[in-house]
Amino acid sequence: MIFPKIVQESKKPPKIFTEALVKTGYFMYTIIKNKQRSFNMEYTIENKKIKVTVSDMGAEMTSLVLKKTGVEYLWQADPEYWTGHAYNLFPICGRLWDGKYTYRGETYEMNLHGFARKTQYELAEQTETSLTFRLTDSEASLKIYPFRFELLLTYTLEDASVITTFRVENRDDKELIFALGGHPGFNVPLAEGDTFEDYTLSFAEKCEPRQLKMSETCYYLGETTPFKVRCGKSFPLRHDLFDNDAVFLTDVASEVTLKSSVSKRFVKVTYPGMKYVGFWHKPKTEAPYVCIEPWTSIPADDGCVDDLETKRDMMRLAAGAVHEQSFTIAIG
């Protein structure tokens, strides 16, 4: 009975035991998961200024490097804080109450930020400076999202910028209801000698931001409050900003820049046509990153299971129609 003892003591069984573990049923989930992940493909594109790597799992960007310095700008998924890099959100943004919504009298379940971020895409097209990934409805998706669709997600490099474009096509005979969002995380600090507190977030234009009031579990409480910014444009980055989870703002300019007052390194995110922008890192930590998240919609109201047809700020697309939405990340 030595083998079962080894299995119980080892969370990561040696490769030699893989076949036996499958036969006994031990660690089945881990093995299937690892096997699945071993087939994930990563694709790299570059120009003179930047190099970008994208995984076909979630069509997620996993690396963004400024070539002249070799600096990695994208968060590298340290599991101590957050295992993502730059999620793409579809067909919802944020949480559903109790993980559920209703549509035409039926109840469906869907996880945080929707299913697309954890679904393998197909590479549709690649050039030296662009990548396009395709996701379509499937038997599995129709069980949780009863719509036929095609989502093309394209990364295009221009100078020291990467443009992320969502192209949604309604392939159903009824209206398609959905939301889109980005969830890129950026390393902070970006240079030796910088500290987290050396960074400021600044909007491109003067504005009067309003912060969405959220519950402790990050559901919307139906109110907004003024969010204080310096000279109508900027606010300092602090770890305690995220002690109550994400900061969601509306009534803001469609461009925000994260910049160090010391090294002058920066990340600029431009998100035309996206009503909300969120800022987040793992609450109550000194996590060395910040996510800048442009969204078209927000989490569910606290205590309410949404009816998809009346859910706040969802986009609607007629049968056969196409919608495109982009946001841009520039680095320096």
Ordered mean pLDDT values, 10 residues apiece, the chain (332 residues): 26 33 27 45 98 98 98 98 98 97 98 96 98 98 98 99 99 99 99 98 98 95 97 97 97 98 98 98 98 98 97 98 99 98
Q: Which residue has the tokens 């009067």?
A: 208
Let me know if 173 is exposed, middle or buried by CB neighbors in 10 A (0-12, 13-18, 19+): exposed
Question: Could you say which of 3.90.930.12, 1.10.620.20, 3.40.47.10, 2.70.98.10 is the CATH number of the domain covering 40-331?
Answer: 2.70.98.10
C-alpha distances in Å from residue 252, one per residue of 205, 228, 266? 8, 12, 19
Check the CA dihedral 182-187-188-189 and report its sign: negative
Q: In this predicted structure, what is the pLDDT of residue 220? A: 97
- pLDDT at position 327 is 99
Q: Is 144 helix (H, G, I), strand (E, B) or coil?
A: helix
If we measure between CA atoms, which residue out of 267, 283, 248 comes closest to residue 95?
Answer: 248
**Pairing assessment for the beta strands 322-331 and 266-270 based on DSSP bridges:** antiparallel
Cβ-based neighbour number of residue 105 at 10 Å: 6
Strands 289-295 and 276-280: antiparallel
Provide CATH 2.70.98.10 ranges for the chain.
40-331
The per-residue pLDDT for 32 is: 29
Residues 6+ apart with CB under 8 A from 167: 151, 152, 153, 154, 322, 323, 324
**CA pseudo-torsion sign 39, 40, 44, 50:** negative
Amino acid at position 263, single letter: S
Integer Cα distance of 125 and 139 in angstroms: 24
CA dist., res. 194 & res. 261, Å (int): 9
- Angle 211-216-217 (CA atoms, 0-180°, nearest 5)? 105
User: How far, in Å, CA of 190 to CA of 290, rounded?
Assistant: 11
Structure token digits, residue 154: 């394209």
